[in-house]
Amino acid sequence: MQVRHAFRALLPRAALTGTALTAVTVLAPAGGAGAASSPSSAPGVTANSITVGSISTQTGTLAANFSSLIYGERAYYDYINAQGGVNGRKIDYKYQLDDGGNPTTFNQLANTLINQDHVFAVTGVGTAFFSPNLFVESGIPTYGYNVTGNWATAPNLFAAGGSTQYYPAGAPATAYLARQTHSKSIAVLAYNVAASANACQGGETALKAAGYDVSYSDLQVAYPGSTVATDVQRMKAAGSDLVVSCMDVQGNINMARAIKQYGLHMTQLWLNGNDQSTLNENESLMQGIYFSISHVPFGAPQSEYPGLKLYETEMKKYEPSYADNELALQGWESAALFVEGVKMAGSNLTQANVINADNSLTAFTAGGLRAPTNWKEAGHTGHAPPYCSAYIKVSGDKYVPTLNKGKNDFVCFESIDPKKNPVYPLPAGTPAPA
């Protein structure tokens, strides 16, 4: 959320994985992947290029929450184009439009991209004001970052990590952290906006139902968390020793500062703030703070995770300022899913074929970079276990993988029951050391 990530945590999204998690093998049609490009009547397609665009908030008060999405996308396309493109065509990332955090502007830009610029796909949507109507009506392949809860159902909308928000799936990870840190009393904080409040409320309800003591809850913190010190005082009075935050980075920093000021000794679980620039600026406040993430931790050994090595190598080559930025990583994931669909469509490149190809994937990991998403079974319309995440903890000036078993950085749960422990070995398809 900043050069930081967007309101990512305003929703602790579960990795939407289905029961069939073995990597899918797709046979391209004759003359498909790797073949010379063929003529196509699809919009935005020439014999040697595919034109795509994006709409995100690059300026205004919300820019810090969304602006870095495009850099991960751009780096991925630069990497793909350096290999010669996809099936003989290079990706022309021609339009990177800024809605300024204005819903009216967003809708105008969407109309421009689709009906005037005639792009083949919108491969990066990063805004608090995503309205799906025109994208669904046009049937255009659409990829991006879901903070609004309205990406689900439509088969052409692909939010990074899965388009369905299933909030109860965050409860097992929170409960597991509570057990591992011997925390007895949980507090929950969220902003008074739907994406934030709904996310934390779903987890809170599941924890209470399982018998966990939720001693304090405020799902109406005023954005951007300038009044959160009052909540910290109330958490202290309630005896809370673990706080789960569905706020953005600034709200989390405000909370950490107040926790230190009032002398609380409590475990903190943030769903935003996992980038190096945040830690560099707030190292003294962030010691010991936990994060639950859906991708291979940035601090994991590159020698053991080839997907992370590729991502960081190419980001440092093309967009070095954003190499360890979670929202940039979601841009990379979105671009990778789009390119995978184009590859699988082969010589018959149409928007419908790209959409169908992506919806046939049962374990998409962006090249071994994230927990698998089952687009065929659960990506749009539902949820299915396992629910996988990786825990990291701040130690010194680094985010360090923690609470894992052996060399694996992920923990996976096969139930939304907060009383259940993770399952080992990891489900098939989950990134594991090479």
Sign of the torsion formed by the C-alpha atoms of 103, 107, 113 and 114:
positive
Q: Residue 99 pLDDT more than 50?
A: yes
Tell me the pLDDT tens digit for each residue of 387-409. 898 999 999 999 988 988 777 78
Say which residue, 108 or 377, is predicted with more confidence.
108
The phi and psi torsions of 124 (rounded to 5 degrees) equal -150, 100
pLDDT band at 77 (very low <50, low <70, confident <90, very high): very high
**Placement of tokens 């989390």 in the chain:** 252
* Two tokens, residue 199: 């996310």
110-149: b or e for each residue (b if 16 or more CB lie within 10 Å)?
beebbeebebbbbbbbbbbbbebebbeebebbbbbbbbbb
Beta bridge partners of 7: none
* CA atoms within 13 Å, Cβ hemisphere of 196: 29
Tens digit of pLDDT for each residue in 404-429?
877 778 999 999 999 999 988 888 88
- The tokens for 82 are 């350096």
- Looking at residue 426, its pLDDT comes to 84
Categorise residue 212: left if φ over 0, alpha if ψ from -120 to 50, beta otherwise.
beta
3-state helix, strand, coil in the chain (%, to 5): 35, 20, 45
Higher pLDDT, 139 or 147: 139
**Measured CA angle at 31 (ends 29, 32), to 5 deg:** 55
Per-residue pLDDT averaged across 126-130, rounded?
Answer: 92
Which pairing describes strands 398-401 and 387-395: parallel, antiparallel, or unpaired? antiparallel
Segment 227-254 shows an average pLDDT of: 95
**Cβ contact 51:94 at 8 Å:** yes
Out of 32-46, 312-326, 369-383, the most confident range is 312-326
Task: Report helix, strand or coil for 312.
Answer: helix
- Show the CA angle centred on residue 214, arms to residues 209 and 220, nearest 5°: 105
Paired tokens of 69 = 């999405």
As a whole number, mean pLDDT of residues 278-300 equals 92
Average pLDDT over residues 80-84: 97
Query: Which range is most confident: 7-11, 49-53, 298-302?
Result: 49-53
What is residue 195's predicted lDDT score, i.e. its pLDDT?
Answer: 74
d(CA 114, CA 182): 53
Amino acid, single-letter form, for residue 274: N
Q: 319-343 burial, b for 16+ CB within 10 Å, e for fewer? A: beebbbbbbbbbbbbbbbbbbbbbb
Q: What is the pLDDT of residues 15-38, one digit of tens each?
A: 334 333 333 333 333 333 444 566
Q: Which two tokens stand for residue 79?
A: 């990497």
C-alpha 355 chain-centroid distance? 20
Catalogue all structural domains in the chain, each as residue range(s) with its CATH number. Answer: 7-166+304-358 (3.40.50.2300), 167-293 (3.40.50.2300)
Cα separation of 201 and 194, whole Å? 10
Which one has a higher pLDDT value, 10 or 259?
A: 259
What is the sign of the dihedral through the CA atoms of 218, 219, 220 and 226?
positive
Please give the pLDDT value at position 37.
63
Instruction: Provide the phi-psi class of 424: left if phi over 0, else alpha when psi is between -120 and 50, else beta.
Output: beta
d(CA 200, CA 18): 23
Residue 10: predicted pLDDT: 42
Prediction pTM value: 0.87
